[in-house]
Structure 1
Amino acid sequence: MAASRLGILLLSTTAPERIGQMSARCEDLGFDEVWLAEDYFFYGGFNAAAQALAATGRIRVGLGVISCVARHPAATAMEIASLERSFPGRLLPGIGHGVPAWVAQMGLTPKSPMRALTEAVTGIRTLLTSSEPFTTEGEYFTFRDVALFHPPGGEVPLYLGVIGAKGCELAGRIADGNVLSVLAPTEYVTWARDLGQRGMAAAGRSGTFSVPTYVLTAVDEDRDRARRAVRESLAFYLDAIGPTPLTGAIGINDTVAELAAGGFAALVDGMPDEWVDRLAICGTPDEVAKRIEQYWAAGADSVVLSPQPADTVGSQLELIAAEVLPRLSR
């Protein structure tokens, strides 16, 4: 896949019946990718990906990410293979831990999330690449003479969706890329990509390590209005996940913790404008185009825009296509 791609994230609040239509519109407007999120309990990831793929002919469709414990890896491999055969070369599947609260609601919390993720992804790759029946007894997943009746016709890239240093390196050892969460500044993108490449080298693997990066986005001729459009979404995520390596990459974890102690409202009111500028892509069309190129330069081969606020996605898509895409230097 070529570098410097631009995608759109269709949030989990998108009605399932609109996914095909919106994906087709993204393709018509000139975007390279559509990404979907299997957030529990909104729309189903594989169903949504099938709708997006069926409604389009060129655009790649990313699924970032499904929980490794929500389905048995053999069933996940079967779903991936079916979509790859139906829409060759256009599916970008991602696998992660899953949001802990949602996983706990299903009683699926593993004692060792990293072990569960490793077993799942290793099993999925084995089934996608080998025609021989696969048998193994893992700590979390068992395979007994499992083989896909309809294996994929070509190679399918597998992505992780992890944040910490160990996870980022693991992504390079067992996957082809890492889907980076919203709140990732450019400094984190470079750090995560370097760790992934280090993991690939340690595992003796060759190829390019991909880091598609989700970024909250708002475009407006009024820069302050664009900032306001992403501010509450940033506060929501900071309140939900607190200090992480994402925010640690720009040295704000202590302040994030202090503000988060006061809850969402404290984050909205106390968040410096600098955070908005570094954790999101917002501003005038010229400013947004420059920020996208900064993410590409930092190593994000795909920048996946998440238009904000969510109820303005349609108009934001049109504005980005008309005013931002022509300003990009690719």
Structure 2
Amino acid sequence: MTILGATCLPQVPPEQLREVARVAQDTGLAELWLWEDCFWGGGMSVASALLAWTDRLHVGVGVFPVPLRNVALAAMETAAVQRMFPGRFTVGVGHGVQDWMGQVGARAASPVTLLSEYLAALRALLRGEPVTTAGRYVTLDDVTLGLPPLAPVPVFSAAAGPRTLEVSGRHADGTILDSGTTPDRTRAALETIDRARAEAGRTGPHQIVVYLEAVTGPDAAARLAALDRGASASVAGDAHAVADAVRFWAGLGADRVILHPAPDDKDPVAFIRFTAEQVQPLLS
């Protein structure tokens, strides 16, 4: 069964997040997702707070930009959050928006190489293994987590182009496709991921996450048309229209469909209520 979630955008002020967390749990939202954009709130601190304010809500971060975070630090923080909130946290990484990475002096000449090295090291560290590696970007000398996770930690990767999709298939436990994906690109992505997994001898589950932009409320169709999204993962209309779109993307292979609001939607609490109270029951 496909899991439905909602996004809390990075632009939501931190002082509003406690209410967001409370409403997400009280309405029975399956998953609340966020991502780490420059230069808004830090993803790990926001995720930790959301988890601490709730006792059932599952929180996903999709994604952390890897050039900003040393892989050992990412492993340390992920392990700590998983131990504090077991089974309630999904972590995703990506190579980041290159212009932003340039602004902070962290732009990699080969983002795909960085992501590949990073994923391999991060997953090994989270398995509690000692890691020594000297790659182009990731260098570790006999590093082992002192407090590794007590259970396996799935690591997801954002991917769009063929080379990044291959990296995700080889190294990640799931792939995150943003709302810019189209049906044809999604089908091609699944083929690329499956081929890379087969070549790497990976046989375990591999989750597919699709971000679906949902424009709701007055003049939803006109507002979506103004955004000029084309055939990308987007929908305008009421709960029934959104539920139909969720079913469509689930039929293409999405294990999780995460709704995110339109840029002009300024009420994160109302959007979460809409997702949990109006759309989610239609998918039961």
TM range (shorter): over 0.9
2:273 corresponds to which residue? 318
Letter of the 2:268 partner, please give it: V
Contact persistence 2:128–2:149 (CA under 8 A):
no
RMSD: 1.8
Q: Hey, what's the Cα distance between the residues in 2 that align with 1:312 and 1:21? A: 11
Deviation at 1:199, TM superposition (A): 1.6
Deviation at 1:43, TM superposition (A): 0.6
1:247 corresponds to which residue? none
Question: Is residue 2:213 matched to residue 1:216?
Answer: yes
C-alpha change, 1:187 and 1:52, in structure 2 (3 Å) is farther
C-alpha change, 1:43 and 1:231, in structure 2 (3 Å) is farther
Letter of the 2:202 partner, please give it: R
- The aligned length equals 283
Deviation at 1:318, TM superposition (A): 2.5
Q: Hey, what's the Cα distance between the residues in 1 that align with 2:3 and 2:282? A: 14
Contact persistence 2:24–2:273 (CA under 8 A):
no
Q: Find the residue that maps to 1:98 and give its secondary structure.
A: coil
Runs of 5+ consecutive residues of structure 2 not aligned to the other structure: none
State the TM-score, normalizing by the size of structure 1.
0.81
C-alpha change, 1:321 and 1:88, in structure 2 (3 Å) is closer
Q: Find the residue that maps to 1:92 and give its secondary structure.
A: strand
Letter of the 2:248 partner, please give it: Q
The residue correspondences of 1:123-272 to structure 2 (distance < 5 A) are 123-131=121-129, 133-220=130-217, 225-232=219-226, 234-235=227-228
Runs of 5+ consecutive residues of structure 1 not aligned to the other structure: 239-274
Q: Hey, what's the Cα distance between the residues in 2 that align with 1:139 and 1:319? A: 46
Match of 2:249 among 291, 295, 298: 295
Match of 1:108 among 100, 103, 106: 106
2:48 corresponds to which residue? 50
Question: Is residue 2:3 matched to residue 1:5?
Answer: yes
Deviation at 1:84, TM superposition (A): 0.6
Q: Find the residue that maps to 2:266 and give its secondary structure.
A: helix
Q: Hey, what's the Cα distance between the residues in 2 that align with 1:130 and 1:152? A: 7
Identify the structure with the greater strand proportion: 2
Q: Find the residue that maps to 1:20 and give its secondary structure.
A: helix
Q: Hey, what's the Cα distance between the residues in 1 that align with 2:165 and 2:220? A: 31
Deviation at 1:168, TM superposition (A): 1.0
Q: Find the residue that maps to 1:179 and give its secondary structure.
A: strand
1:243 corresponds to which residue? none
Deviation at 1:196, TM superposition (A): 1.7
The residue correspondences of 1:22-101 to structure 2 (distance < 5 A) are 22-101=20-99
Deviation at 1:231, TM superposition (A): 4.2
Bigger relative contact order, structure 1 or 2 (CA pairs below 8 A, ≥6 apart): 2
State the TM-score, normalizing by the size of structure 2.
0.93
The residue correspondences of 1:300-311 to structure 2 (distance < 5 A) are 300-308=254-262, 309-311=264-266
C-alpha change, 1:310 and 1:284, in structure 2 (3 Å) is closer
Letter of the 1:154 partner, please give it: A
Contact persistence 1:110–1:116 (CA under 8 A):
yes
Deviates more, 1:305-314 or 1:140-149: 305-314
Identity across the alignment (%): 33
Q: Hey, what's the Cα distance between the residues in 1 that align with 2:119 and 2:18? A: 28
Q: Find the residue that maps to 1:108 and give its secondary structure.
A: coil
Q: Find the residue that maps to 1:41 and give its secondary structure.
A: coil
2:19 corresponds to which residue? 21
Q: Hey, what's the Cα distance between the residues in 2 that align with 1:164 and 1:306? A: 22
Q: Find the residue that maps to 1:160 and give its secondary structure.
A: strand
2:117 corresponds to which residue? 119
Letter of the 1:19 partner, please give it: L
Contact persistence 2:64–2:93 (CA under 8 A):
yes
Letter of the 1:303 partner, please give it: V
Q: Hey, what's the Cα distance between the residues in 1 that align with 2:205 and 2:73? A: 27
Letter of the 1:206 partner, please give it: T
Q: C-alpha offsets along residues 82-117 of structure 1, whole Å, 9 cap, x if unaligned?
A: 101111112111111111110000111111111111
